[in-house]
Amino acid sequence: MSDLKIKRALISVSDKEGVVEFARELEAMGVELISTGGTLKTIKDAGIHIISVSSFTGAPEILGGRVKTLHPKIHAGILFRRGLTGDMEQMSQSDYRGIDLVVVNLYPFQETVAKPDSDDALIIENIDIGGPSMIRSAAKNHASVTVVVEPADYGPMLKQLKENDCSTDFEFRRECAKKAFSLTAEYDAAISEYFILGKDVDNSECPDGFALSLEKKAQLRYGENPHQEASIYKLQGFTGPSLLNSEQLAGKELSYNNYNDLDACLDMLLDFSEPFACVLKHANPCGAATGANVAEAYRKAYESDPLSAFGSIIGLNKEVDMKAAELLHDTPFVECILAPSFSEDAYKMLKKKKSRRLLTLDAISNGRSDGELIYKYIRGGFLVQSADDKVTLPADFKVVTKRQPTDDEIKEMLFGWKIVKHTKSNAIVLSKDSATVGIGMGQTSRVDAGFLAVKRAGDRAKGATMSSDAFYPMPDGIEIGTDAGVTAIIQPGGSKGDDQAIEAADKANATMVFTGVRHFKH
């Protein structure tokens, strides 16, 4: 494929960043410019010679600007095949002229949907029709036409023209076409998502079908293991708190495993409004606690299992002040710390260890978004489910033992119930004073998970609350806890062995409540 000389360019952009400077450079190279509406005015007001699409087509813009570029002279000018005799003859007979460069970006549909005050009429009006049509036409005919869809590509485009006598080479046009088709696919996916899921509604019901649009944000050093390739992509249209919107203040680049662990960390942080801290390894909590402030919360969370905390991910849901920073700084080998913000002094101290990554995400303070869908890739498809965001309140408790829980035990069970939800199943969490003291997770046997939790808790199991993510089918799991000193138990209930579990709790004078809700996390 030969280089393509740019003689005529159509410019029609919603995002006008850099467009005047770009147009001025094109004009200086002798490129004829045509444009529409606001773009035409912006460029013309800058003293650059440009003609209107209406002048080019001989047809006025109509229907309040809805129909401007949907005209044979536009699309024939873009789509005709240079060098093909039949196409050339038809263009000549109809007095049509070629368009060699199409510079178009689209109406801000996604941005309009995201605005709280946007109604359906405004959103519909921001569905671009002519723009995607021109982009697709130019991208299809990239053998002869160059298409530019974002201001970031103005520089590379001008570089091509200056180095190639106002021409572009085929490889450049092919890359531009690839980006163009990705843009229109993403745009159509966003429109489809709006029509399927709507705006400001509970989207927890799985739709019959939808398109996922992913934007590559970064190439990662490697995947779970060094021999695996990995990248991270942003799900277009997602408006909830996301690591993709966080800011990394210090430390080396994040790895695949860092992102996985940090996402589990963020998920926990969003469940708490009071000062809270969590310590995670391999997407599992090894410590979690609330406190009067984040320093106290972190101290309690770390003391849950200092051995497992080595090489951990730490999350805090309030600003990290100097008091908390001193504790964090003294913690051996921390991979990452995620918080809404760091005080200036705290940041200066914590950034001293170059291997420690510091991330901020303001949206932690906003809590969880309603109606999120969770996607899990399996070979050839996805499992899709609504988020496990059900909130359990004391009114939901069904006390099944002879002894009623005290107010302190109710508070502790609510805390432990939140933590066990984020722990890989089979999961048992022992907690005391709103802090974990022993966690057993990821076991094929609930009994083994109980043994692990009790072993890690040691003497701290005395007077602790035991939380189980699923029911106890037999009394042995209850007995492991009560033999270690557990006095309160929270679990879903619903097993054929419930009566035996209740009997075991009564025998130990423990209180036990059923929630009717299971929290498996595989």
Secondary structure string (H, E, C) spanning 200-260: CCCCCCCCCCCCCCEEEEEEECCCCCCCCCEEEEEECCCCCCCHHHCEEEECCCCCHHHHH
Q: What average pLDDT does range 471-481 have in this prediction?
A: 94
Question: What is the C-alpha separation between 455 and 266, in angstroms, rounded?
Answer: 28
Q: Which of 101-115, 133-147, 222-236, 429-443 has the lowest mean pLDDT?
A: 101-115
**Amino acid at residue number 188:** D
Q: Is the dihedral of CA 53, 55, 59, 61 positive or negative?
A: positive
DSSP 8-state assignment for residue 397: -
The answer to whether 416 touches 397, Cβ cutoff 8 Å, is: no
pLDDT higher than threshold 50 for residue 201:
no
Q: What is the residue-wise DSSP string for 40-103?
A: HHHHHHTT---EEHHHHHT---BGGGTBSS-SHHHHHHHH--TT-HHHHHHHHHTT-----EEE
Question: What is the C-alpha separation between 393 and 388, in angstroms, rounded?
Answer: 15
Predicted confidence band at 97 (pLDDT cuts at 50, 70, 90)?
Answer: confident
pLDDT digits (tens, 9 = 90+) for 306-351: 999 999 999 999 999 999 999 999 999 999 999 999 999 999 999 9
In the residue annotation, 140 being an active-site residue is answered as yes
Tell me: cis bond preceding 203? Omega within 30 of 0 counts.
no
Nearest to 399 by CA among 510, 495, 485: 510
Q: What average pLDDT does range 253-258 have in this prediction?
A: 92
Count the residues in the chain: 522
| pLDDT over 90 percentage in the chain | 56
Predicted confidence band at 231 (pLDDT cuts at 50, 70, 90)?
Answer: very high
Question: What is the C-alpha separation between 331 and 310, in angstroms, rounded?
Answer: 8
Question: What is the C-alpha separation between 486 and 131, in angstroms, rounded?
Answer: 66
What tokens does 71 get? 């005209």
Q: For residue 481, how many other CB atoms are within 10 A of its CB?
A: 30
The answer to whether 266 touches 364, Cβ cutoff 8 Å, is: yes
What tokens does 131 get? 């723009």
DSSP 8-state assignment for residue 406: P
DSSP 8-state assignment for residue 275: S
**Amino acid at residue number 491:** Q
Nearest to 339 by CA among 312, 321, 327: 321
For residue 196, CA distances in Å to 63, 190, 192, 207, 439 come to: 28, 10, 6, 7, 41
pLDDT higher than threshold 90 for residue 292:
yes
**Amino acid at residue number 64:** G
For residue 173, CA distances in Å to 15, 82, 88 come to: 22, 15, 21
Please name every residue paired with 184 in a beta bridge, in sequence order, or none if there are none.
Answer: none
One fold for 4-197 and 395-514: no
Question: What is the C-alpha separation between 459 and 465, in angstroms, rounded?
Answer: 13
Quick one: pLDDT at residue 199? 61
Helix (H) or strand (E) holding 484: helix 476-484
Nearest to 361 by CA among 312, 419, 317: 317
For residue 73, CA distances in Å to 77, 78, 414 come to: 6, 9, 68
Catalytic: which of 140, 199, 234, 411? Answer: 140
In the residue annotation, 282 being an active-site residue is answered as yes
Q: Crossing angle for the helix pair 476-484 and 446-457, nearest 10 degrees?
A: 10
Q: For residue 303, how many other CB atoms are within 10 A of its CB?
A: 16
pLDDT higher than threshold 50 for residue 202:
no
pLDDT digits (tens, 9 = 90+) for 33-92: 998 888 888 998 889 999 888 888 777 777 777 777 778 888 878 888 887 788 777 777
Q: Which stretches within 351-422 are classed as H helix?
A: 407-420
Question: What is the C-alpha separation between 41 and 28, in angstroms, rounded?
Answer: 19
pLDDT higher than threshold 70 for residue 200:
no
Find tokens 């022992």 and name the residue: 430
CATH of domain 395-514: 3.40.140.20
Helix (H) or strand (E) holding 503: helix 498-507
Assigned CATH topology for domain 254-385: Cytidine Deaminase; domain 2 (3.40.140)
Tell me what the pLDDT averaged over the chain comes to: 89
Q: Which CATH superfamily is domain 4-197 in?
A: Methylglyoxal synthase-like domain (3.40.50.1380)
Where are the domains positioned within the chain? 4-197, 254-385, 395-514
Rg of the chain in Å (alpha carbons) = 30
Catalytic: which of 71, 199, 282, 323? Answer: 282
Residues 6+ apart with CB under 8 A from 208: 196
pLDDT higher than threshold 80 for residue 371:
no
The answer to whether 437 touches 462, Cβ cutoff 8 Å, is: no
What burial class does residue 381 get, using C-beta atoms within 10 Å of its C-beta: 0-12 exposed, 13-18 middle, 19+ buried? exposed
Predicted confidence band at 259 (pLDDT cuts at 50, 70, 90)?
Answer: very high
More confidently predicted of 76 and 512: 512
